[in-house]
Amino acid sequence: MPFAGTGKIWMNGSLVDWADAKIHVASHVIHYGSGVFEGARCYATPKGSACFRLDTHVERLLNSAKIYRMDTPHTRATLEDAILDTIRANEFKACYIRPIIYRGYDTLGVNPFPCPVDVAIMLWQWGKYLGDAALEQGVDAKVSSWTRASANSFPSLAKSSANYANSGLIKMEAIADGYAEGIALDSSGYISEGSGENVFLIRNNTIYTPPVSAAILPGITRDSVITLAHDMGYTVREEMLPREMLYVSDEVFFVGTAVEVTPVRSVDKRQVGNGRRGPITEAVQRAFFDVINGEVPDTHGWLTYVYPAEAALREPASAVGAKTR
């Protein structure tokens, strides 16, 4: 069970007890899915607790809210500080971070404008999303019978609560059929993404991933993996990929805040490669975990350190990367 059920939650500018973080049953978000959210992580590193790409996550949260016409007085800096304050209030060294902007309680009806725009930040300690063994052994996936919405149906660039109803259908179908995860196609039949993860394929030492036009959420972990792969000298191609590429690839892996970097060992009961984590997946995975665990210099400036006393142990101020707030 990932939720401890204790600690503090930030709601509209104040820290409240977990048990008191409540909304009304008539809140618009419950009936119409009018919410946008983020998933980020704070990691315990040798130099102290650090949030991975916190600024980028909060920027995407506010962009999602803008797409859905949800105006909030909170700036990116305010929300970043609120997240860090909430981590400190809960005295977490490592945790999963879930900020959400949502339409609250006023009137019911499809029109959301009369309803207030509320903001909350909750945290919990969360292990490996698909299990510790999956990081090496990989997981079994299936191509879902559910497709991602077409480009003009739901905005895939927004991380919206409503969009995740589709994700839930994909995930439930996969579990019911004996798989760990599902892979959705877009409305034209090209590979899109998992229920909550982006997908990468490797063939002949080239890394492929679907583009934004394939109805994917442009994942922040996805962007990080592309950057790291380029750093390591790999060719990464973002292009429309037919379903059968999943069956003939040498390696397949998922990426995302929750799943991190997890190999796929089979798709639709067809073995991928040798049925285990492949060498390029392993190299990308190692590079990613080295960064988030603070084992290598933060050359891209992706880590924001949480606790001032711990942050003082980082590299000198002249070093590239480390940030504190």
Strands (E), the chain: 8-11, 14-17, 35-37, 40-45, 48-52, 95-103, 117-124, 139-143, 181-185, 191-194, 198-203, 206-209, 235-238, 251-256, 260-267, 270-271, 303-305, 323-324
Helices (H), the chain: 28-32, 54-67, 76-90, 134-137, 164-176, 220-231, 245-248, 279-292, 308-311
Residue 165 in tokens: 């109803």
* Measured distance between the N- and C-terminal CA atoms of the chain, rounded to whole angstroms: 31
**Catalytic residue flag (residue 323):** no
Annotated catalytic residue: which of 8, 66, 93, 159? 159
| Separation between Cα atoms, residue 15 and residue 145, nearest integer Å | 42
- The DSSP code sequence of 76-95 is HHHHHHHHHHHHHHHT-SSE
Beta carbons within 8 Å of 27's beta carbon, 6+ residues apart: 102, 103, 104, 105, 115
Provide the residue type at 207 as one letter.
I
Active-site amino acid positions = 159
